[in-house]
Structures are given as structure tokens and as C-alpha cells.
Amino acid sequence: NPRLHVSLEERRSSCKHPIASRLFDLMMAKKSNLCVAADLPSLDEVITLAESIGPKIVVLKIHVDILEDFSLTKIRQLKEVARAHEFLIMEDRKFADIANTVQQQFHGGVYRISEWADLITAHPLPGPEMITHMFGDSSSDSRRTCGCVLILEMSTKNALTNEDYAKEAAKWGLIASDIVTGFVGQSAPNSDFPGWIQFTPGVNSSSASGDSKGQQYCSPAKAVLERGADIIIVGRGLINSQDVVATAETYRTEGWAALTQRITN
């Protein structure tokens, strides 16, 4: 897959979405390809974490529906931290329903995700019309302010996201490449579109196997060099560590070294 060896500058110039360009800029400026999965039970704790590791990361990934103290006010506080430390916020909602439903889930409810998320995740399962209708027509704000990341492959044992599934999904993701800014996967997909960014979860330096509940792990180097990750997603490997700042620095260094090595090879 030629994408893997193209420079970030060059890939940035193929981007069709402003959020993807911004992410390439942040990666180059911060020398980081680290996304942290802030799976903590409260937004207060997420904000504290973000304040400390903000300089090391390019994306902070959250699950808004596990936060027991959610409020739009606190989300605005988190947005301030993101502005100050220059990282994007990804809401890992994994939208996966008919268009009429996901429209309401994306724009409405208590969370109003489209008002604050820079990136959201979606399962391609319901077919292509979900995403196009969710983001609206070209006059819609969320088309520019929020990028869609398609889940092509899952990190879990016995996942149903097999090769055929990922191939089919990548195909229609490419058709909507003004909305789809990247994908979540465990391998480079059957597309070498350099503007797409690959996010790889299941990264943990201290656990070689998994979490005993189906999650499977590999190291940052393996994720980048063998599996094609541009961005590594690290959750419990970091948030449960004693010194989160030092751990973030370690993951940043390892991830970035692997990415630089892959590109120059």
C-alpha cells in the first residue's frame, strides 16, 4: 500500500476535509500520532487528564455516554483545553442506525454531539445513506466542522469485520471522501487514498495479549509498522498508569519514531 510511505506533507495536500488537514498539521507540529482514549467515568476527570497530557496528543477520544456528570458547560470547558493545547476531540459514538435515527442522535438529545465533536466514529453497517444524511448537504455546518471516521475492522477477538466487510465498507467510504476523513482498522484497507487517516486501537505496551474480555493488544511499533496505523489509540495502557504525563511521552515518542521510520523506508 503506497499510502504508508508517503510523507505527511504530501498526504495533507490530498485531504478533502478541513479536519483531516488540521490533523496532519497537528501531527507535524507536535511530532505526535497519539490519540488517548479517555475512558473515565466523569467529564471532570477527563478535563483534568486533558490538561496534563494535552501537549503530547493530537486527538482525545471520549465516549460521551459513559460520563455520569455530562453537561454542555463542561464540554465547553474541554473544548477550551483542546484549543489551548491544540488537539481534536473525537466522540467514539459508533453510529450504526438508519439515517433518520442517526440524524437525531448526532444533532439532538442531551449531548448535541454535532455542536462540539471534531471527529465522530461510525459503523458502515447500515449502508452509505446513513452518513450522507447525517452530515447533511453541502450547506450544513457539520460537513466542515466534523469529520467522520469509519470503523472498517474491530480490534476484538472473533469480530465480524472480515476482509470482505472492510473492503465493501472502504469502497463506499471513498465515495463520500468529502465527509469520511479516515478509518479505524487493524490493517491498511483496500484503498491507497493518501488523504485518509488510519486510527488503530488495541495498543498497549505493557500487555502483549488482551484484557480478558475480548480486547486484543499490540505495541505502538507493531501497530504503525505492521498494521498501517497513522494514529495509535491508547486507553487503559495510559489512563491506568501511575504517571500519565510520562506515559504519554513514552507512547508519543514510540509512536512517532515508528511513523517516521515507516515513511522514510
Ligand X SMILES: O=c1cc(CO)n([C@@H]2O[C@H](COP(=O)(O)O)[C@@H](O)[C@H]2O)c(=O)[nH]1
Query: Can you give the binding site for ligand X, defined by CB under 6 A?
Result: 37, 39, 92, 97-98, 101, 121, 151, 154-155, 184, 201-202, 204, 211, 215, 233-237
CB of 151 closer than 8 Å to CB of 124: yes
DSSP assignment of the chain, as one string?
A: -GGGGS-HHHHHHH--SHHHHHHHHHHHHHT--EEEE---S-HHHHHHHHHHHGGG-SEEEE-GGG-TT--HHHHHHHHHHHHHHT-EEEEEEEE-S-HHHHHHHHHSTTT-GGGT-SEEEE-STT-THHHHHHH-STT-THHHH-EEEEE-S-SBTT-S--HHHHHHHHHHHHHTTTTEEEEE-SS--S---TT-EEEE--B-SS-SSB-SSSBB-B-HHHHHHTT--SEEEESHHHHTSS-HHHHHHHHHHHHHHHHHHHHH-
Among 54, 124, 194, 255, the residue binding a second copy under the rule CB under 8 A is: 124
Residue of minimal Cβ distance to ligand X: 235
Among 16, 74, 79, 94, the residue binding a second copy under the rule CB under 8 A is: 94
Q: Which CB sits closer to a second copy, 217 or 256?
A: 217
- Residue 165 touches which of ligand X, a second copy, none (Cβ within 5-8 Å per kind): a second copy
Q: Which CB sits closer to a second copy, 240 or 261?
A: 240
Binding positions for a second copy, 144-203, rule CB under 8 A:
154-161, 164-165, 168-169, 172
Among 2, 73, 83, 110, the residue binding a second copy under the rule CB under 8 A is: 110
Which residues fall within 8 angstroms of residue 29, CB to CB, at 6 or more apart?
Answer: 86
Among 86, 115, 178, 211, the residue binding a second copy under the rule CB under 8 A is: 211
What Å distances lie between residue 252 and 36, 104, 170, CA to CA?
10, 36, 28
- Residue 144 touches which of a second copy, ligand X, none (Cβ within 5-8 Å per kind): none
- Residue 234 touches which of a second copy, ligand X, none (Cβ within 5-8 Å per kind): ligand X
- Residue 204 touches which of a second copy, ligand X, none (Cβ within 5-8 Å per kind): ligand X
Q: Which CB sits closer to ligand X, 91 or 256?
A: 91
Q: How far is the CB of 203 from a second copy (least distance, A)?
A: 13
Task: Give catalytic residue positions.
Answer: 94, 97
Among 9, 10, 129, 163, the residue binding a second copy under the rule CB under 8 A is: 129
50 makes contact with a second copy (CB under 8 A): no
What Å distances lie between residue 130 and 57, 96, 100, CA to CA?
30, 8, 8
Provide the binding-site residues for a second copy, judged by CB under 8 A. 39, 41, 63-68, 70, 92, 94, 96-101, 104-105, 108-111, 123-130, 133, 154-161, 164-165, 168-169, 172, 211, 213-215, 236
